[in-house]
């Protein structure tokens, strides 16, 4: 069942990325290549993909994912502007450092999504994850060394959505 779900997901992603239509005609070669690639991915990599495969077939989780995407892009754009401001400012107002934040997410997929969301946001980089649910994050402008405050600034904005998607 897991392989079938990953095959369908891989093929849908392939179709979305390649959109095999030229002048209103479907390009059969692209579709066949996508089918072959999807079979290979689902057979070879199903063990390294998340075990929580049921999350991909829940309409509620899909809804929250679709809500999360624009929110994530909003924070990415906001962080980009902040980094540009800091880079172009004559005094370069940065205070880099590594802070510790706490996550309440329990699933490996949720924690991975949180770490990736933090890393993909300019100005922050997830450095390490501990077994007790703490993330160490390099932050371009440390506003607080306190775990709760740093969690509010960095992780809380993503965690609320990721909890609804992955748990």
131 shares its domain with 62: yes
Q: Same structural domain for residues 123 and 78? A: yes
Q: Do 39 and 62 belong together in one domain?
A: no
Tell whether 23 and 105 lie within a shared domain: no
pLDDT at 33: 92
pLDDT of residue 22: 61
Is 118 found in the same domain as 73?
A: yes
Domain co-membership, 42 together with 71: no
134 has which bridge partners?
102
The Cα 149–Cα 156 span in angstroms is 10
Closest residue by Cα to residue 153 from 165, 135, 167, 166:
135
Count up the domains in the chain and report the number.
2
- Do 112 and 69 fall within a single domain? yes
Largest CA distance in the chain: 58
To the question of pTM greater than 0.85 for the whole model, the response is: no
Judged against a pLDDT cut of 90, whether residue 37 lies above it is answered with yes
128 and 145 in a single domain? The answer is yes
- pLDDT (tens digit, 9 = 90+) per residue, 68-122? 999 999 999 999 999 999 999 888 888 999 999 999 998 888 898 999 999 999 9
d(CA 113, CA 111): 5
CB contact set of 60 (below 8 Å; sequence gap of 6+)? 164
Residue 27's domain comprises 2-49
Residue 36 has pLDDT above 80, yes or no: yes
Instruction: Give backbone dihedrals phi and psi of 87, rounded to 5 degrees, phi first.
Output: -75, -35
């Amino acid at each position: 069942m897991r392989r079938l779900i990953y095959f369908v997901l891989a093929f849908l992603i392939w179709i979305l990325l390649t959109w095999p239509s030229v002048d209103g005609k479907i390009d059969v070669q692209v579709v066949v290549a996508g089918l072959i690639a999807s079979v290979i991915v689902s057979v070879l990599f199903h063990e390294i993909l998340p075990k929580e495969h049921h999350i991909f077939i829940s309409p509620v989780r899909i809804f929250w994912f679709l809500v999360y995407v624009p929110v994530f892009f909003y924070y990415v754009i906001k962080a980009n502007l902040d980094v540009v401001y800091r880079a172009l400012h004559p005094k370069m107002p940065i205070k880099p450092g590594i802070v510790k934040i706490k996550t309440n997410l329990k699933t490996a997929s949720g924690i991975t999504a949180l770490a990736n969301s933090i890393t993909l946001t300019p100005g922050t980089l997830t450095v390490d994850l501990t077994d007790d649910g703490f993330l160490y994050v390099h932050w371009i402008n440390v506003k607080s060394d306190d775990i709760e405050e740093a969690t509010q600034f960095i992780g809380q904005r993503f965690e609320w959505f990721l909890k609804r998607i992955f748990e």
